[in-house]
Structure 1
Amino acid sequence: MTAIHATAIVDPGAELDSTVTVGPYTVIGPHVKVGAGTTVGPHCVLEGHTTIGRDNRIFQFNSLGAIPQDKKYAGEPCELIIGDRNTIREFCTFNIGSPGGGGITRVGDDNWLMAYVHLAHDCVVGNHTIFANNSQLAGHVEVGDWVILGGFTVVHQFVKIGAHSMTAMCTMLLADLPPFVMSQGQPAQARSMNYEGLRRRGFSAARVSAVKAMHKALYRQDLTLQVARERIADLVKISPESLPDVQMMLSFLDQTSPQRGIVR
């Protein structure tokens, strides 16, 4: 039997695996699905068309699946989808998607989301990320794998954050943050690349050297973005091992809108 506290209110239409645990005074709506091994703490509200995967730890006082903070929203059946093995600490607010943004807010696997994190409608978060306390994402933000957001980071709507990047505390992102870049400031400026993080994740010396060369092309040689792209593409000739990293950087730069640009 699912371990549901006597004071919790779970709609009969909700689908909870038999191994799910639900704490006191939590409310779960009719369109919610929760996978095996997930624990939901006390005083949470899970509502909307929300699907939560396996082995997540959802601490007390979370609001997951509420309607978007979007005046255009008119009750459409949009979704919040959360993957597996995520830790969601206290007072987080994750909204469902909106019809204008694809209809789905999505969180991947193995993320560590600290207290007071806000994910607005249509945000997409990858895997293995860390969001420190009070990280705030406006609508339609995309976050790559292994990203680390420092406490009180705020992200403008439609901004893209590349894989393996990192922000310092109180950073304000108004432009796209390329992969591997460490940024800080209001608005954010590029400070370095996340070399130590890459080493800890098993990047070889050759791959780290290629990332250093990307940093020089983007930020240290006073090049136009187009010329920087060409320099980055040429790195594969010197270091074939860097091909996936180069491709990821070039793909990210190609998707950046000219109006928003990248953090420089």
Structure 2
Amino acid sequence: MTTAAPVIHPSAVVEAGAKLGAGVVVGPFCYIGNEVQVGDNTTFGPHCSVQGPARIGRDNRFVGHCAIGGEPQDKKYAGERVELVIGERNVFREFCTINRGTGGGGGSTTVGNDNWFLAYTHVAHDCHVGDHCVFSNNATLAGHVTVGDHVILSGFAGIHQFCRIGAHAFIGMGAFVNGDVPPFLMVAQEGYGKPRGINSEGLKRRGFDSERIGAIKRAYRALYMSGASLDEARVRIAEIAGESADVRDFLDFIESGERPLLR
């Protein structure tokens, strides 16, 4: 268990209202604002800024020039108290930006555990990112986006506001997504992103066996390759879901959306 006091570079500014855990390192020219709580062993490289209210868990690494917890980029924001919550063991590379929530959007932006945010990635107000995700360089979320676990956003991918990205999905380089992406899908660039099969390789790496992947493939074909209407496809997917928990998740995702399904 770490008991070492925080290490703060002489050029850094840490406001009196900030709370730093044991072993925290604050590098040169950083700014840590009021109402910022930082868990044990989290490190900030040079020129990072963190605005509060924000709660950051333990063992996170901010490499440098990150702007974390800034006000939401929303004209409706009127200064209400909103926050950012970040979990544990995340890596934020150079020039990452993550904004707090808005009063009208639930009041918080959240990031889970074990995620990897590469350079120039952006998470806007009221977004919710799960665990074990990878955001490649310049991947961007607009406001109110929900991202499930184990999602990969390739470089320059852009997600429209209020969209949902289901667990284990893979968004290809430069794809612009303006509709919900069900779990397990792989989306490729063609103007706005279009489904191009399921993320088979990623599922294999995470221990999905051939039977599970086969059921997901059958659900994908019913929705995207059969030529059936959405209602007809739902009936077929419901039949497959009777034998597959993964397909039940797929169907639940389709039926709970507020934006048009990406098809």
TM-score of the pair, normalised by structure 1: 0.95
Check whether the contact 2:241–2:251 (CA below 8 A) recurs between aligned residues: no
SS at match of 1:94: strand
1:236 shift after superposition: 3.9
How many angstroms apart in 1 are the aligned matches of 2:235 and 2:37?
Answer: 47
Please give the per-residue CA displacement for 1:69-102, whole angstroms capped at 9, x wherever unaligned.
1111111110100000101111011000001100
1:228 pairs, out of 208, 233, 243, with: 233
Corresponding residue pairs, total: 258
**SS of residue matched to 1:77:** coil
Q: Aligned residue for 2:195?
A: 190
Cross-structure match for 1:210: 215
> Considering only aligned residues, what root-mean-square deviation do their CA atoms show, in Å?
1.0
1:89 matches 2:93 = yes
Match of 1:41 among 35, 38, 45: 45
Q: What are the ranges of 5 or more consecutive residues in structure 2 without an aligned counterpart?
A: none
Query: Which residue identity does 2:251 align to in structure 1?
Result: L
CA contact (8 A) 1:48 1:67 kept: no
1:250 aligns with 2:245: no
SS of residue matched to 1:106: strand
Distance 1:31 1:48 in 2: 5
The alpha carbon displacement at 1:225 in A equals 1.5
What is the CA–CA distance in structure 2 between the aligned matches of 1:192 and 1:57, rounded to whole Å?
34
Alpha-carbon displacement from aligned partner over 1:165-214 (angstroms, at most 9, x marks no partner)? 11111100011111111111221101110011001000121101111111
- Taking the aligned partners of 1:85 and 1:247, their CA distance within structure 2 comes to 31
One-letter amino acid matched to 1:115? A
AA paired with 2:225?
R
Question: 1:190 is paired with a residue of what secondary structure?
Answer: strand
SS in 2 for 1:229: helix
**Paired letter, 1:226:** D
Shift of 1:247: 2.2
Between the aligned partners of 1:248 and 1:41, the Cα distance in structure 2 is 40
In the alignment, structure 1 residue 170 sits paired with structure 2 residue 174: yes
State the 1:229 CA deviation. 1.7
1:231 Cα shift? Answer: 1.3
| Counterpart Cα distance in 1 of 2:131 and 2:229 | 32
Contact 1:165 1:180 in 2 (8 A): yes
Aligned to 1:200: 205
Provide structure 1 residue ranges, at least 5 long, that are not aligned to the other structure.
Answer: none
The percent of aligned pairs where both chains have the same amino acid is 50
Give the Cα separation in 1 of the matches to 2:208 and 2:74: 41
